[in-house]
């Protein structure tokens, strides 16, 4: 039997690694041995896929983040070992869920951009598409979040402390990356990306920075112990932390070094493999035939001058030859309309990182200006389009100038790029721009994380074909009026809420009621995502309940999760504010019977796998026009949550697919906000609206405590009387009453459990568009030609 073979294989690995029998070792040792067994099982298929891809055109996904989540359970599912998994675990004397909990989430990303990259990699492998990933193997990740007196605190996320059985160190393929002031080794670690039940396994290659000569014996021998390791530490700093704090110049240099490090190593790797495979093509005339690089936002854009550098300086092509190749092999995804997120680096920082690449960027800019002048562009227009301008290098401009295609990630986002943010570029290169609405992999976000619902869908549809074609979920609409089915949908949701409540009690120490509405907002902390609006609404409810303890409302549990960047003071202030509201609400004997508030610590993929299936309401409340797409909204939808959202990002497409009557829409539109932008006066709104004033004034009251940090005063000023920038820049107060009304509608509609289940099923049935399988096939057909 397959089960017996697997068990014996794991026992042999345990004995080899520890010298002990399976009964004598820890759960961690059992997890590690089981993981090694899977890696051993897949090795032949992985090698076959790699060999097959050598003779094909490949796409290469360059991303600063790959938020892959735990590998153990997902790999068991995709490789087809899940039928034996429970039985194997039982034979090892442990439950399968306990084995899964042994794995640390790899600290390789932060939010949607990194999780999208992971979903794309899995979908490409599932669709038999040759897509390889390249990124950074961070030793400490972004940070591990915890709360102290309600404040966000950060500590290193040493995710490999107990080992990393899912990646292979490929020492022989190490590269050297040259900076102006140092040389470092780039050591590759390869992680398999397993397609669903098809034996196709692509590769995610992550680079780790190490010193060429890491230890100075003579300094150590002279008792200069710290100095003897300084070279090693400086090299390893490059891949220590995701997005190093760049508020100081040293941080900016380190951050750009990190970006250049991984693209330089990746381009070197790809070029060297090409030369080995095609040794006679010394002019690289077929290079673009076999390669296309997708730049995931601006972080990897240094790959453009780096490819030019390699072609010019190490392979002796002329500028014209090198530029002709370079212009054919890059495509660029824009993930934001926020100007601060479109990276710009001062000239001296780019020059400090790699002077030769800076020279190449300036030459690309010089030739581009000449072209624009020939085309009779005005100096004013040219200034908008320039790559190097006013002492800064504009990475988005470099990417758009060079790339064959530029895509947004939702229909609204792409239209805003074309009509506003990148209007001048769209007028110059209209054929370059196209939309690719984001997606999520249904394997992880439904089949793996919500097994009960997944199995029920298969039962209803009579087949599990939907797992590979999510559009088949549309067939579930025939059950929209089937009371038995609707009751079962509610039962599955309740079971998931019980599971999450248990997990939150164990990890956060807070009791929550599975019979309450689970109203959830989990995402990166940023002002435009408006966690503050959510928090102020809870204050409004608190005030209502205090003034009328007998008020008739359906009990509600508000769940938050997400990290604020360490240097983002206001976002950290909002976290403190929410935690203080949670303390106020949860400790009140009257209010806590009606509402509860929980901010979960260290939100990550494995937490999300428990949260998304349990949600009744999905909070997608960003200021209209600010969220490029979102993918959390899709995970909630696929698991049957109803979206409470603005006309923003992919929300619009969710409303279109599932219907506004099955969701809750509120807030001003992009067009409406544009109309009032210059005249909007939040201070007058605050002074003339008693409800808003009473709600906002909690920020100045003594019933919550910011521990002398002045955080709450700073939030108050940002809404009402900001001296340095426009107050209420994200229209929190403008949308407040519309948001309150939407919540009142939720309260009313949740009382009819069958009607709610019908809306839930309508969302599930219409989530097909939001599969990353669909997105990745569009990339493959319309951008990559693979």
- Quickly state the pLDDT bin for 246 (edges 50, 70, 90): confident
Q: Where are the alpha helices (DSSP H) in 523-591?
A: 531-547, 569-586
Cα–Cα distances in angstroms (integers) from residue 273 to residues 19, 279, 291, 649, in the given order: 40, 10, 12, 39
Assigned CATH for 54-69+105-346: 3.40.50.2000
- In whole angstroms, give the CA distance from residue 254 to residue 144: 20
**For position 446, what pLDDT does the model report?**
98
423-436 tens-digit pLDDT: 999 999 999 999 99
Q: Residue 72: pLDDT band by 50, 70, 90 thresholds?
A: very high
Q: Residues 758-783: what's their mean pLDDT? A: 98
Q: Above 70 in pLDDT, residue 536?
A: yes
Percent of residues, the chain, with pLDDT higher than 70: 100
Contact 115, 109 (CB under 8 A): yes
CA dihedral sign of residues 69, 71, 77, 83: negative
* Domain chopping of the chain, boundaries: 54-69+105-346, 442-770
The pLDDT tens digits of the residues spanning 617-668 come to 999 999 999 999 999 999 999 999 999 999 999 999 999 999 999 999 999 9
Q: For residue 111, what pLDDT is reported?
A: 86
Given this model, what pLDDT does residue 723 score? 75
Instruction: Read off the pLDDT of residues 270-301 as tens digits, 9 standing for 90 and up.
Output: 999 999 999 999 999 999 999 999 999 999 99
- Strand ranges across the sheet with 642-645: 595-600, 556-561, 517-522, 617-620, 642-645, 664-665
Cα angle 630-205-405, degrees, rounded to a multiple of 5:
50
User: Would you say 475 and 769 are in contact if contact means Cβ atoms under 8 Å apart?
Assistant: no
pLDDT of residue 641: 98
Q: What is the Cα–Cα distance from 553 to 339, expressed in whole angstroms?
A: 42
Give the architecture-level CATH label for domain 442-770: 3-Layer(aba) Sandwich (3.40)
Residues annotated as catalytic (active site), given as ranges: 335, 523-524, 529, 631, 635
Q: CB-based contacts of 436: which residues, under 8 Å, 6+ apart?
A: 333, 407, 408, 409, 775, 778, 779, 782, 783
**670-681 mean pLDDT:** 95
Structure tokens at 685: 């709104």
In three-state secondary structure terms, 380 is helix
CA quadruple 696, 698, 701, 706: dihedral, nearest 10: -110
CA distance 438 to 776: 9
Task: Tell me which residue of 17, 47, 20, 42 sits closest to 32, measured CA to CA.
Answer: 17
pLDDT above 70 (res 16): yes
Closest Cα partner for 781 from 53, 124, 52?
124
DSSP structural state of residue 621: -
Q: What is the pLDDT of residues 484-524, one digit of tens each?
A: 999 999 999 999 999 999 999 999 999 999 999 999 999 99
Using CA atoms, how far apart are residues 117 and 298, in angstroms rounded to an integer?
14
Taking residues 367-393, report their average pLDDT.
96
Name the band, by pLDDT with cuts 50, 70 and 90, for residue 525. Answer: very high
Give the residue among 107, 258, 133 at the shortest CA–CA distance from 189: 133
DSSP string for 476-521 = GGGGTT-HHHHHHHHHHHHHHHHHHHHHHHHHH-----TTSEEEEE
Q: Two tokens at 515?
A: 């019979």
Chain centre distance of CA 637: 17
Residue 49 has pLDDT above 70, yes or no: yes
Placement of tokens 């019977």 in the chain: 593
Mean pLDDT computed over every residue of the chain: 96
3-state secondary structure 251-268: HHHHHHHHHHHHHHHHHH
DSSP secondary structure string for all residues of 728-749: TTT-TTTTHHHHHHHHHHHHHH
Q: Is the pLDDT of residue 214 over 80?
A: no
Which element (helix H / strand E) includes 97?
helix 96-101
Residue 183: strand, helix, or coil? strand
Q: CB–CB of 259/302 below 8 Å?
A: yes
Q: Bridge partners of 210?
A: 185
* pLDDT tier, 56 (very low <50, low <70, confident <90, very high otherwise): very high
Tokens of 64: 């600063």
Looking at residue 342, its pLDDT comes to 87
Using a 10 angstrom Cβ sphere, with 0-12 exposed, 13-18 middle and 19 or more buried, the burial of residue 370 is: exposed
Q: Is the pLDDT of residue 722 over 90?
A: no
For residue 1, the model assigns a pLDDT of: 58
The predicted structure's pLDDT at residue 337? 84
Q: What is the pLDDT of residue 746?
A: 98
Q: Fold match between 54-69+105-346 and 442-770?
A: yes
Choose between 243 and 722: higher pLDDT: 243
CB neighbourhood size of 708 (10 A): 6
> What is the per-residue pLDDT across 146-186, written as a single tens digit (0 to 9) for each?
999 999 999 999 999 999 999 999 999 999 999 999 999 99
Q: How many residues does the chain have?
A: 786
Task: Say if CB 288 and CB 322 are below 8 A apart.
Answer: no
- Of 224-238, 382-396, 543-557, which gets the smallest average pLDDT? 224-238
- Report residue 691: phi and psi, to 5°: -65, -45
Instruction: Give the C-alpha separation, 756 to 744, whole Å.
Output: 15
Residue 220 has pLDDT above 90, yes or no: no
3-state secondary structure 317-374: CCHHHHHHHHCCCEEEECCCCCHHHCCEEEHHHHHHHCHHHHHHHHHHHHHHHHHHHH
Q: Is the pLDDT of residue 219 over 70?
A: yes
């Amino acid at each position: 039997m397959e089960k017996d073979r697997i068990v014996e294989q794991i026992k042999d690995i345990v004995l080899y690694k520890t010298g002990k029998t399976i009964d004598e070792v820890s759960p961690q040792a059992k997890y590690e041995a089981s993981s090694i067994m899977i890696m051993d099982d897949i090795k032949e298929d992985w090698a076959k896929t790699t060999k097959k891809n050598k003779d094909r055109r490949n796409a290469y996904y360059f991303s600063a983040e790959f938020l892959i989540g735990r590998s153990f359970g997902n790999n068991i599912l995709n490789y087809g070992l899940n039928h034996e998994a429970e039985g194997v675990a039982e034979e090892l004397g442990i439950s399968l869920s306990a084995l899964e909990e042994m794995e640390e989430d790899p600290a390789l990303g932060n939010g949607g951009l990194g999780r999208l990259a992971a979903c794309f990699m899995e979908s490409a492998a599932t669709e038999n598409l040759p897509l390889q990933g390249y990124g950074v193997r961070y030793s400490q990740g972004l940070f591990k979040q915890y709360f102290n007196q309600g404040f966000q605190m950060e500590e290193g996320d040493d995710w490999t402390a107990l080992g990393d059985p899912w990646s292979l160190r490929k020492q022989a393929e190490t590269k050297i990356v040259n900076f102006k002031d140092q040389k470092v080794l780039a050591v590759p670690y390869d992680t398999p990306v397993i397609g669903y039940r098809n034996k196709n396994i692509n590769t995610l290659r992550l680079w780790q920075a190490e010193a060429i000569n890491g230890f100075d014996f003579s300094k150590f021998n002279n008792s200069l112990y710290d100095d003897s390791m300084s070279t090693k530490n400086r090299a390893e700093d490059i891949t220590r932390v995701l997005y190093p704090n760049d508020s100081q110049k040293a941080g900016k240099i380190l951050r750009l070094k990190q970006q250049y490090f991984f693209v330089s190593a990746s381009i070197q790797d790809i070029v060297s493999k090409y030369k080995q495979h095609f040794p006679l093509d010394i002019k690289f005339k077929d290079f673009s035939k076999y390669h296309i690089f997708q730049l995931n936002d601006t972080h990897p854009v240094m790959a453009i001058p780096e490819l030019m550098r390699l072609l010019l300086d190490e392979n002796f092509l002329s500028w014209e030859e090198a530029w002709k190749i370079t212009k054919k092999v890059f495509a660029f995804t824009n993930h934001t309309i926020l100007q601060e997120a479109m990276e710009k680096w001062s000239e001296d920082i780019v020059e400090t990182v790699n002077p030769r690449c800076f020279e190449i960027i300036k030459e690309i800019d010089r030739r581009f200006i000449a072209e624009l002048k020939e085309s009779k562009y005005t100096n004013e227009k040219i200034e908008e389009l320039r790559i190097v301008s006013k002492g800064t290098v504009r990475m988005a401009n470099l990417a758009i100038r060079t790339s064959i295609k530029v895509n947004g990630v939702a229909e609204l986002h792409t239209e805003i790029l074309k009509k506003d943010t990148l209007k001048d570029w769209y007028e110059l290169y209209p054929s370059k721009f196209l939309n690719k609405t984001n997606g999520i992999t249904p394997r992880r976000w439904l089949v793996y994380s919500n097994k009960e619902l997944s199995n029920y869908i298969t039962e209803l549809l009579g087949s599990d074909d939907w797992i590979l074609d999510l559009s088949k979920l549309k067939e579930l609409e025939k059950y929209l009026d089937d009371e038995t089915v609707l009751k079962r949908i509610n039962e599955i949701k309740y079971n998931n809420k019980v599971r999450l409540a248990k997990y939150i009690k164990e990890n956060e120490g807070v009791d929550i009621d599975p019979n309450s509405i689970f109203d959830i907002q989990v995402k990166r902390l940023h002002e435009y995502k408006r966690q503050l609006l959510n928090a102020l609404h809870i204050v409004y409810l608190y005030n209502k309940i205090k003034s009328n303890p007998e008020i008739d409302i359906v009990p509600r549990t508000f769940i938050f999760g997400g990290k604020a960047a360490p240097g983002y003071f206001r976002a950290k202030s909002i976290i403190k504010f929410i935690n203080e509201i949670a303390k106020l609400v949860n400790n009140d004997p009257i209010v806590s019977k009606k509402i509860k508030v929980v901010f979960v610590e260290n939100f990550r993929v494995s937490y999300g796998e428990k949260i998304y299936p349990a949600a009744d309401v999905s909070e997608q409340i960003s200021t209209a026009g600010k969220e490029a797409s979102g993918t959390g909204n899709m995970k909630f939808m696929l698991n049957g949550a109803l979206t409470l959202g603005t006309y923003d990002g992919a929300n619009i497409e969710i409303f279109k697919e599932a219907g506004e009557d099955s969701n809750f829409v509120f807030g001003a539109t992009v067009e409406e906000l544009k109309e009032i932008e210059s005249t909007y006066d939040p201070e007058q709104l605050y002074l003339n609206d008693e409800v808003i004033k009473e709600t906002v004034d909690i920020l100045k009251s003594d019933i919550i405590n910011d521990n002398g940090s002045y955080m709450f005063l700073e939030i108050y000023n940002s809404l009402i009387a900001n001296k340095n920038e426009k107050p209420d820049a994200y229209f929190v107060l403008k949308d407040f009453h519309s948001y309150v009304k939407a919540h009142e509608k939720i309260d009313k509609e949740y009382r009819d459990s069958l009607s709610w289940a019908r809306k839930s099923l309508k969302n599930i049935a219409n989530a097909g568009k939001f599969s990353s399988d669909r997105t990745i096939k569009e990339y493959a057909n319309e951008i990559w030609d693979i």
